[in-house]
Amino acid sequence: MEEKNRANLSGNLSQDMEYLNRVLDVEKNYDVIYRVIHFGGKNACMYLIDGFCKDEMMQKILQFFLEMTPDDMPEDMHALSKRFTPYVEVDLTDRYDRLIPSLLSGMFILLVDGYAKALLIDSRTYPARGVEEPEKDKVLRGSKDGFVETIVFNTALIRRRIRSTDLHMEMMSAGKSSRTDIVLCYMAGRVNEKFLREIREKIKNISVDALTMNQESLAECLYQRKWYNPFPKFKYTERPDAAAAQVLEGNIVILVDNSPSAMILPTTLFDVMEEADDYYFPPITGTYLRVTRFIILLLTYLVTPTFLLLVNHPQWIPQRFSFIMLKEEVNIPLIWQFLLLELAIDGLKLAAINTPNMLSTPLSVLAALVLGEFSVNSGWFSSEVMLYMAFVAIANYTQSNYELGYAMKFLRIINLVLTELFGLWGYIAAIVLAVLSVGCNRTVAHTSYLYPLIPFDPKALGNRLFRRRLPGALKNDNLKKEK
C-alpha cells in the first residue's frame, strides 16, 4: 500500500503509528504528543495536541483504561467506546482523512492494536477570553456579553437565548489547509430553504487553501458579483442578542471559528442601519434614534458637496444664508481642501488604531491643535471647510457599520469632483449615481437591497422606519380589554 495515499486504518498498531508519525512529523512538531501505553493485554497509542486537551479529564480517562484487565477487553473499538469510555463526546472513525483533521483541531485520538477503528474523544479546550461587552457594539441598556474567538462559546450564547428545537446549527469547514470551522445558525420553518441550500452549497464548494482573513475571506467567496459596489452585502455583529434576534426573524447567521463576530445574511440597507439600542428604549425613543440616524447619514453625503456648489455659485445663496460664504481669502481651491481633509481624516483613524492607549490622549490634543487652529491660521484650510468636514467625520460614527461609512465617503468624493468640474449638472449626476448604486444593488439572496422601499411594502417599511411595540405587549393589551 502506498503510504502517502493510505485511506483507512489497517488495525495493525505499528503500521498505523508509522504512517501517522510520518504524516504528522512528530519528531519536529513538539506540540504533537504521542505515547504508547499497555492496557487490557493490548498495546495502544494515544495522540493529542499539547494545549488543546483538558489534562485532568485525560488523566481520569487514562486511569480508567489502565485499570482494565485482559478479560475486560471487548472484541472491537465500538464496544470499547460504549462500555469502557467514561466520557460524553466520543466518536469512531476508520479513515485517516477524518482522523488527522480531528487530531489537529484538538481531539484526543486512541489507537488499539487489533482494532480497525480509532477512538476520538472531544475533550479539547481552546484559549479564550471572557465574554465581556464588545468595544464596537456597545449599548446603554441590554446584555453586556459578546462573542469571542471560540466558536463553541458563541453557539452556546445563541442557544442560551433561543431554547427551541427549531434552532439548527450545522457545522461545516472550508480551506484545504486551515479547515476552518463554520457554523450555519437558522430557525427551521422560518428560514428561506432555497437560500439556505444555496449558501450551504457555496460553502461546500469553496476551493481555497485557507480563510486567511476569517469572515471577510468567506464573504468574498460567498458573494463575488458586483465587487465594485461599496455598499455592504453582509451585516456583522459582536452581540449575541442581536444575532439571536436575526435568527428569529428568519435570517441566517454564520459563525466562523477564530472570529468574534457573527455574519448576518441576507442584509438590506435598512438592516445595516438598525442597531440594538433601537430596541432597548421605548418605541418613541427608538423611533427617534432610528430616524435621526437616517437623516444624519444623508447629511454626511450632502453637506460638503452642497457647500462647494453654493460657494462656486454665490448668486444661488439666499440673503438670509449669506453667512455661509467664506470670510477669509482662499489660498488653496476648496475642492483640494476637501480632498486633503478626507485623506487626513482616514490618516487620523489609522493613527488612532495604532496608538498605544497611554499616548492616545496627548496625541489627540496635539492633533486637534495642529490640524485645527494652526491649519486655519496658516492659510492651508478655511475655517468653514474645517467645520463641515469635522461634522462629517463625527457624524459617520452615528452608525456602527464601517463599510456603509466608507461607501458614503466614496460617493461623497465623487460628488465633490463632479460638482467642481460640471457645477449643478455634476451635482445632480452624482446624486443620480448614488441612487443607482443603492437601487441597483442586490443582496446575497438576490433580492432588492432597498426592500421594503423597492418593491414597496408599506407595512414592512413602517416597521423599518418606526419602532413598534413588541407583539407580546400588544397581546397583553388585548387580554386586558377582554377582561
pLDDT of amino acid 362: 64
Residue 192 counted as domain residue: yes
Whether 434 and 293 map to the same domain: the answer is yes
Domain count, the chain: 3
Whether 331 and 397 map to the same domain: the answer is yes
> Which tens digit of pLDDT belongs to each residue from 391-428?
998 898 888 888 999 999 999 999 999 999 999 999 99
Whether 429 and 301 map to the same domain: the answer is yes
> Which tens digit of pLDDT belongs to each residue from 119-133?
999 888 777 777 888
Residue 444 counted as domain residue: no
- The predicted model gives 172-191 an average pLDDT of 91
Whether 155 and 114 map to the same domain: the answer is no
Whether 234 and 287 map to the same domain: the answer is no
Whether 321 and 422 map to the same domain: the answer is yes
Whether 117 and 210 map to the same domain: the answer is no
> Which tens digit of pLDDT belongs to each residue from 13-71?
999 999 999 999 999 999 999 999 999 999 999 999 988 887 788 888 888 888 888 88
Is 445 in contact with 192 (CB distance < 8 Å)?
Answer: yes
Residue 128 counted as domain residue: no
Whether 314 and 398 map to the same domain: the answer is yes
Residue 144 counted as domain residue: no
Residue 272 counted as domain residue: no
Whether 299 and 422 map to the same domain: the answer is yes
| Domain final position from 401, 422, 439 | 439
Is pLDDT at 480 greater than 60 in this prediction? no
User: 170 falls in which pLDDT band (50, 70, 90)?
Assistant: very high
Whether 242 and 315 map to the same domain: the answer is no
* Length of the chain, in residues: 483
Whether 23 and 60 map to the same domain: the answer is yes
- The predicted model gives 425-449 an average pLDDT of 93
pLDDT of amino acid 344: 85
Residue 57 counted as domain residue: yes
Please give the residue range of the domain that contains residue 72. Answer: 3-121
Helices 283-312 and 334-354, axial angle in degrees (round to 10): 140
**Range with lowest mean pLDDT among 93-102, 248-257, 455-464:** 455-464
Is pLDDT at 368 greater than 70 in this prediction? no
Residue 392 counted as domain residue: yes
Query: What is the average pLDDT score of the chain?
Result: 87
Residue 412 counted as domain residue: yes
pLDDT of amino acid 470: 61
CA 32 and chain centroid, separation: 31
CA distance 33 to 178: 20
3-state helix, strand, coil split of the chain in percent (to 5) is 50, 15, 35
pTM of the model: 0.84
User: 474 falls in which pLDDT band (50, 70, 90)?
Assistant: very low
Whether 230 and 101 map to the same domain: the answer is no
Is pLDDT at 369 greater than 90 in this prediction? no
**DSSP class per residue in 185-252:** EEETTTS-HHHHHHHHHHHHT---S--TTTHHHHHHHH--TTTT--S-SSEEE--HHHHHHHHHTT-E
